[in-house]
Structure 1
Amino acid sequence: MKRIAKLGVLVMVAAMVFSLAACSSGTKTGSDTKTYVIATDTTFKPFEYENEKGERVGIDIDLLAAIAEDQGFEYELKAVGFDAALGEVSTGQSDGMIAGMSITDERKKTFDFSEPYFDSGVVMAVSASNDTIKSYADLKGQKVAVKTGTEGATFAESIKDQYGFTTVSFPDSANMYEDVKAGNSVALFEDYPVVGDAIASGVPLKMVTDMEKGSSYGFAVKKGQNPELIEMFNTGLANLKANGKYQEILDTYIKK
């Protein structure tokens, strides 16, 4: 009888151990916390770029970091370029994207966007030594440089038939600037804070038109996916605007 009793006690203890183990396996710990993969551009200064130390910096980078800290989530940043970032999110390889991405009706078919975090616009710029091109009308018969997938490219395409010019596309701003500096293209269309930063940093260009109102930038996820990430971004953005951190980030990168 004693052996049977002892056996019963051992069975009960074993059952309790397995029960506790089963309960603990479903408990979230620090190591179990989901880490979101966020894709971004590589050369879209002042929103995302690499500084002289090889560090990834910019408005988007700092804003994402501050929102993640405010909302308590972790993320892994993938700097893959704008077009690649679009593909990363649309195919589910990345959970979200922040890359100076304009919120458009066409993109809303594929992505869900956060509240806008920056209101942009487009300007035309020419070489600093060019005194011929001063308006869209001066572009007739000329080549104009644009960066693929940007608001500037969209705007240029919308007016090129009206003003009689052709466009040449580049994957990044640096090559687009070089093309205009070399005289291969007479002008370029670019988001105003981006070309403004380039000029302030010493790139020999000048803006020759007023800013055309463009779309606002937003953080994006694949349509119908990661709604909690959009909610955290929106809440964090509102908090940063309220406590002054948002404006502090803008003032760090946008040249006055």
Structure 2
Amino acid sequence: MNRTRRLSTAAAILAALTLTVGLSACSGGDDGADGELKDSYTVATDTSFVPFEFKDGGEYVGFDIDLINAIADEAGFTIDLKTTNFDGIIPGMQTGTFDMAIAGISITDERAKKIDYSDPYYQSGLRIGVPVDNTDINSVDDLAGKNIATRLGSTSADYIKKNIDGATPKEYKQLDQAYLSVANGSTDAVLYDAPNVAYYIKTKGEDSLKMVGDLLQAEDYGIAIAKGQPELVEAVDAALKSLKDDGTYDKLFEKWFGEKPQN
């Protein structure tokens, strides 16, 4: 009698354990199991980096927005787009608020300690913008000792601090503020990502700003991915390669920059 009870108890425990394992294997859903893609990811972006991402008529548009949507479609997941200031993107990824980010984020060794990156998707660099009537600043050497507008938390701010003697970076959360500070004389020049400087001058600042000097510090943009998601890095890289191979990437590039990519 006692032996029968012991056997029954053991069987009940085994059945409970089996049920628990089965439920664990079936759980996860949208969260995804280890090594598997989730159904949806939260993607951070900024809204003031034309033509990569900006708000137009209540809608978020731009090269980065089109690209991340195409990558998501190709990889088979959906995205929940969230906007934040540029300097809040990496901290948000570190705390788990965002899974990914696309916002013209330059690939650097320092950032790679905190986040992972996709393969590069855009080659950029830094350019100088000055008032149209300025004749004193013609190259990076002429920026020594000047007040230089740039974006808060950007690689251009680091460049100013490390490479331009006596210069003071004036960092702004919104890029329009940086450009306007040059136009109204609050700063001497703006130093920022080449495509954004060119686009701003072409669309808004043609009468107030001009570009001078050579392209500085060639750098690549990558899609930022929160650490610990190698399956997502692999999926994004594979999707990006497919979009380049089938011509989709070239079409998006030409749509936003008016020409096909050079490389």
The one-character-per-residue Cα deviations of 1:180-238 (angstroms, maximum 9, x if unpaired) are: 000111111011111111111131311101111332111112222x2222111101100
The whole-number CA distance in structure 2 between the counterparts of 1:78 and 1:128 is 36
Tell whether 2:153 aligns with 1:149: yes
CA distance in 1, matches of 2:61, 2:244: 20
Partner of 1:16 in structure 2?
A: none
2:248 corresponds in structure 1 to 245
**Measured at CA, do residues 232 and 183 of structure 1 come closer, stay the same or move farther in structure 2, by a change above 3 Å?**
same
Whether contact under 8 Å (2:53, 2:103) holds in the other structure is yes
Residue 176 of structure 2 is aligned to residue 174 of structure 1:
yes
For 1:121 and 1:29, locate their aligned partners in 2 and report how far apart those are by CA, in whole Å: 41
TM-score by length of 1: 0.83
| AA of the residue aligned to 1:207 | M
Displacement of 1:107 after TM fit?
A: 0.9
1:99-248 counterparts in 2 under 5 A? 99-161=103-165, 164-203=166-205, 204-224=208-228, 226-248=229-251
> Per the alignment, do residues 28 and 198 of structure 1 end up closer, same or farther by CA in structure 2, a change over 3 Å counting?
same
Deviation at 1:255, TM superposition (A): 4.5
Asked if 1:254 is matched to 2:260, the reply is no
CA deviation string 1:36-89 (max 9, x = no partner): 1111112111111111x1110111110000011111111100011211221211
Q: Relative to structure 2, which stretch is displaced further, 141-150 or 66-75?
A: 141-150
In 1: Cα distance, 2:100 partner to 2:85 partner: 14
Which residue identity does 1:227 align to in structure 2?
P
Q: Is 232-241 or 77-86 further displaced after alignment?
A: 77-86
Cα distance in 1 for residues equivalent to 2:250 and 2:174? 27
Question: Does residue 81 of structure 1 match 2:81?
Answer: no
Quick check: 1:151–1:214 contact (8 Å CA) kept in 2? no
**Matched AA of 2:63:** I
Q: Distance in 2 between matches of 1:218 and 1:167?
A: 25
Alpha-carbon separation, structure 2, partners of 1:137 and 1:70: 45
Q: CA RMSD in A?
A: 2.3
Asked if 1:36 is matched to 2:38, the reply is no
Q: For the residues of structure 2 that align with 1:197 and 1:87, how far apart are their CA atoms?
A: 28
In the TM superposition, residue 140 of structure 1 has moved relative to its aligned partner by 3.8
Confirm or deny: 8 A CA contact 2:126 2:156 kept in the other structure.
yes
Aligned-pair distance for 1:144?
1.1
Q: Percent identity?
A: 37
Q: Is the 8 A contact 1:95 1:221 kept in 2?
A: yes
Unaligned runs of 5+ in 2: 1-18, 33-37
Deviation at 1:141, TM superposition (A): 3.5
Residues 220 and 230, structure 1, Cα contact 8 Å, conserved in 2: no
| Contact persistence 1:196–1:255 (CA under 8 A) | no
Cα shift readout 1:3-25 (whole Å, capped 9, x = no counterpart): xxxxxxxxxxxxxxxx9xx88x9
Which segment is superposed worse, 130-139 or 74-83? Answer: 130-139
Distance 2:157 2:27 in 1: 49
SS at match of 2:109: coil
Residues in 1 aligned to 2:101 and 2:39: alpha-carbon distance in whole angstroms = 17
